[in-house]
Structure 1
């Protein structure tokens, strides 16, 4: 699998998962990793998730939500653009860029994403799902997750952390 970006990054997780539960555990791991870092409550955390339709982007996000102790059901925000879930301490903002990236005029929607990010509190996590090129909307991001479909149930997952 190729690297997700041309930015300087380090791989913090690489695994082949054999079922949705294992994919969800990878999301749980990433959320744990973020909150073990000293500055976790001092900034907004941007996670970009790239993968084809059906690759497990929302399943991965459910793992993040589980670690944050979100009590409500997490599903894809495809038709809503953004869904926000309250965790025990912080919020999870789940953004789907598919509709933006497939629209006829995506550059005009940059301001929409900027407005959404302004509403996010310090310490919160923003998960942006995309089929590709999600980094175009987020010049500042923390982690990028690449989900590759190997077969019906198997996924190749790579999590990169952007070097700062």
Structure 2
């Protein structure tokens, strides 16, 4: 992979409740929707944050903008959940479950197999605690969710582009 890309902060905000965290996800989905190349590739969003930081709440905001009709919840016990949006699908992957598996040698194979289910134009959201870019070097957006207190989060969204 060419390392001739740039990374730009596109969002940096402190949210004071889950509704505001969900709105941040909605914003990112709008951003992707307005990006001309988004329908020509798989759109990969990496969510990094501790357990309880709001990764699934953020994903619900993405789903809302995509007009997903079913309830979005954490894919912890399923690894990958797919939701039908109005025009594209939302794939929600829990990398934490894969990282804690007993056979670390098969991790890349598992990720590769799961990626095959994602179609061009779809959005893949990957929940992890850290280092998810090792498995997804072609990520488009990286979202950091930092817990400041029980309800408050610092959310930073970075966009990688060429």
TM-score by length of 2: 0.94
Instruction: Write the mapping of 1:58-69 to structure 2, written as runs, cut at 5 A.
Output: 58-69=56-67
Instruction: Write the mapping of 1:75-86 to structure 2, written as runs, cut at 5 A.
Output: 75-86=73-84
Q: Aligned residues, how many?
A: 158
Task: List gaps (5 residues or longer) in structure 1.
Answer: 1-6
The Cα RMSD (Å) is 1.1
Equivalent of 2:86, from 88, 92, 99? 88
In structure 1, the residue matched to 2:33 is 35
The separation in 1 between residues aligned to 2:47 and 2:121, in whole angstroms, is 19
In structure 2, the residue matched to 1:18 is 16
Q: CA deviation at 1:103?
A: 2.5
Equivalent of 1:154, from 152, 155, 159? 152
Task: List gaps (5 residues or longer) in structure 2.
Answer: none
Instruction: Please tell me whether the aligned partners of residues 42 and 118 of structure 2 are also in contact (alpha carbons under 8 angstroms).
Output: yes
The separation in 2 between residues aligned to 1:86 and 1:19, in whole angstroms, is 27
The separation in 2 between residues aligned to 1:147 and 1:73, in whole angstroms, is 21
Q: CA deviation at 1:116?
A: 1.1
Q: Deviations over 1:17-71 (max 9, x none)?
A: 0000000000000000001011121111000000000000000000000000000
The separation in 1 between residues aligned to 2:136 and 2:27, in whole angstroms, is 22
Give the match's secondary structure for 1:92: strand
Instruction: Please tell me whether the aligned partners of residues 48 and 143 of structure 2 are also in contact (alpha carbons under 8 angstroms).
Output: yes
Give the match's secondary structure for 1:35: helix
TM-score by length of 1: 0.93
Q: CA deviation at 1:8?
A: 4.4
